[in-house]
Chain A
Amino acid sequence: MEKPQVGRFNTQEDHLLQINDLSKSYSGVRVLSGISFSLPAGSVMGLIGENGAGKSTLIKCINGVTAPDGGQIIFDGNSYSGMTIKKALELGIVTIPQEFNLSDHLSVRDNIYMGCERKRMGIFLDHRKMRQGAEALLESLGCSIDPDALVSSLNVAQKQMVEIARGLNHKCRLFIMDEPTTVLNKSETEKLFQVIRRLQKENVSVLYVSHKLYEIAEICDSFTVLRDGEYITTAKTKDFSTKEMANLMVGRELKDIYPPKMPLPSPDAEELLRLQDLSLASLVKNISFSLAKGEILGIAGLGGAGRTELAEGIYGIRKIVSGKMFFKGKELLPASPEDAVKAGIAYIPEDRQKSGTIQQFHLSWNMSLISLMEKYCSWGFIRKEKEKKSAENYISLFSIKAPDGNIKMNELSGGNQQKGVIAKSLDTDPELFIFDEPTRGIDIKSRSEIYFFIRTLAEKGTSCIIISSDLEEVIGLCPKVLVMREGKIAGILEQEKINEKEIMYLATGIK
């Protein structure tokens, strides 16, 4: 491979971080080889690549979680053959992980000063000073969080800000942000970007890892592409379109990732689900809509608008306190997921790690989890042959990258895991399929495959509800979109009326 060019930027001395020929193997498998690029001080660089391209491993090498096998990390002019977590922190390399490392039961202030507490007479905590310091830091980030509030009372966006504030308090010079916006809605993302620009002005660099290429295009000065553990290129974002970036990532021309849109169901189409003034114990109030057989309905809205709660009400996890729900013409009030599954409802939870999969289980065990008793048991005994066969079927149906069903779930990439989760629910032969953030944090190829799968499902007469914070996804997939705000329906958009602006107007209440 041609040696990558280092120093596309004018002043070489300004480089805060330089990666030189870095390589890393896990148990004989090369995950990184010959990675070289450099990041100037005060610039924002995107790091992109499909799942399994080596982004996480590269991050782990830079922040000291793991040691590289070869190559150097040059930070601020000093060369290191490997980092440790401690050294990286001392140098000012701070990672904002997807799962925050905050202590929920401590205050914002205590979290920001964790490990570097201000003391009086060397023993007693100086609460006043820490409070003022935390306040100033948070203010400099332009967010109004009470330093005395408990972290458990904050929302995800605020928690992220606390993480950033803590990093700044540790004299951070390089932030590594791993998929920072997956948990944020549009306006929160906007705010994060403002903070990143502010950091940039203070000469702090950011390595920004994301699947969302339009974000890379918006916030990053440059981007680095990894593919299959190899360095592909580093370039300025203004010279590339997001489509070109995607092509660099996958290494081939990427056709449209969405299938052709389904038409709206005809007015006399058979009705599958109807909600009448449905209310839950909290948040969700007076929801009414109807869903035809084979229809794809998108549900958009900001975080906390009650979309997941509504889905969980339909799936029997949350209690319906008033209103009616009709499923296949009959009234149904599921008291538990068992009731919902029996009736023919499937739900793909938004949190794949926590609620969608059992990471320590085999893939085949995960896929048979819901229908184990009905399909794979006789007299309570598991028929393992049958389970194995069905696993093989699903692996080929979804082209899951796994040798067989005996692979542990946590050894699969996010996209393949998600396909397993969908297979699990498909195995119950549902008539209503609710997808909650179906493509969160997974690579483009798997994403596209999931979109085409949803379309096929709908063609076969299964109704689908797509809950998503990814507006592009809702717009690309759904002929009808229901927008929620503060637990209520803010509006319903159809066909060509569906666009980003309209959805945001409804979601934020401008209209």
Chain B
Amino acid sequence: MDHSVQNKRLEKCKNFFTENRPFIALIVLLTFCMISNEYFRSPQNLINITRQVACSGIAALGMTFVIIAGGIDLSVGSLLAVAGVAGVMGMNEIASPVPAVLAAFFIPLIIGIIGGAFNGFLITIGKIPSFIATLGTLSIYRSLSLYFANAGTVSSSNEIFREVGNCVFLGIPLPTWVFIFLAFIFAILLKHTSFGRHVCAIGSNVSAAKYAAIKVRFVTFMTYVLAGFCSGIAAFLFSSRLNSISSTNAGLSYELDAIAAAIIGGTAMSGGKGSIAGTVAGVFILGIISNALVMWNAPVNLQGLVKGAVIIIAVLIQTRRTKN
């Protein structure tokens, strides 16, 4: 009798650790970095980290939905660039400063949604595998941003725009607030709405979802629109902080960071399973590693190696878990 109770406790303990792996990893990593490096643990640095991860983190939120529904979106970084370039250029056309800032907000948002919808259209109506469709649009969107910006940087001299991007509320910068707010909304969307349930159903078993009268194409389409929406928001935050956007560098390899964050956070690449909280943990794990490496004066060119190793380890652990 005693034995079985003990076994059950052990099992519960084990389950707790497997289910909360990303968060435990995050806490361990954070504690370790804070103890080992005095620059790292300064409050300003910690706040900086949250700002540094905000843009790719927002992209990761949308990516989580796409991956859970069984797809992938490689175009989020390029879409960010083209949306940001269009936003700043549009803003520069408007003389009065306040409407200009509004334009700089809504233009990237709309372009992001259109770009996401185009991806969704190719994948659901065109029936092109998501990897290939978004590989194509990755190239298309980047090329458009280069074309419009003449492969250079588009800047604005709108001071309000810059102030919005750099404003700090309760000691925490705006991009961080937006990231937290969106993460909260997306978490509710995934867990507590029929849309979120349908996304999981489609990613788990598309055939069963179809027979269960779920609008498979519409729901899949909407996940790409969400990803595009995230790119648009990130484009606004990104460009307003610097008051400019580089058509070549903006959002470069964001798609990889976003996918990596989702995977580290426990989202299954095969679809059907994942959580927003996990993705947020994944975003911070990646952000802390990049930041800590700088603080430790690690060679810049080796940062990618560490990041890659973390992703591989995360996936290794995930596959071992599914085997068991």
Contacts and interface: CB of A to CB of B under 8 A. Distances in A.
The answer to whether A and B belong to the same complex is yes
Contact of A358 (B7, B188, B209, B213): B209
A370 B208 CA distance: 10
Interface stretch (A198-206, A210-218, A275-283, A334-342): A334-342
A369 B205 contact: no
Contacts of B96: none
Contacts of B120: none
A358 B194 contact: no
Size range of the chain B interface in the assembly: 20 to 34
B234 to A, nearest CB: 25
A347 B194 contact: no
A341 B211 CA distance: 10
B214 A369 contact: yes
Contact of B205 (A315, A340, A359): A359
Contact of A337 (B211, B272, B273): B211
Contacts of B214: 369-370
Nearest to A368: B197
A124 to B, nearest CB: 35
Contact of A360 (B204, B209, B211, B212): B204
Contact of A369 (B188, B212, B215): B212
Contacts of A398: none
A361 interface: yes
A355 B205 CA distance: 8
Contacts of A424: 212
Interface in A354-371: 354-361, 365, 369-370
A73 B188 CA distance: 53
A432 to B, nearest CB: 14
Interface string B191-206: 0111101101100110
Contacts of B212: 337, 369-370, 424
A347 B207 CA distance: 13
B73 to A, nearest CB: 23
B204 A382 contact: no
Interface of B: 4, 7, 11, 188, 192-195, 197-198, 200-201, 204-205, 207-215, 272-273
Given A360-B204, A369-B208, 16 more contacts: A28-B4, A28-B7, A317-B211, A336-B213, A337-B212, A338-B215, A354-B207, A358-B201, A359-B205, A360-B272, A369-B209, A372-B194, A372-B197, A380-B193, A382-B193, A424-B212
28 contacts: A28-B7, A315-B211, A317-B210, A336-B215, A337-B210, A337-B212, A354-B205, A355-B211, A356-B211, A358-B205, A358-B209, A358-B272, A360-B272, A361-B201, A369-B201, A369-B212, A369-B214, A370-B212, A370-B213, A370-B214, A372-B197, A372-B198, A373-B194, A380-B194, A380-B195, A382-B193, A382-B194, A382-B197
Interface of A: 27-28, 315, 317, 336-338, 340-341, 347, 349, 351, 354-361, 365, 369-370, 372-373, 376-377, 380-382, 384, 424
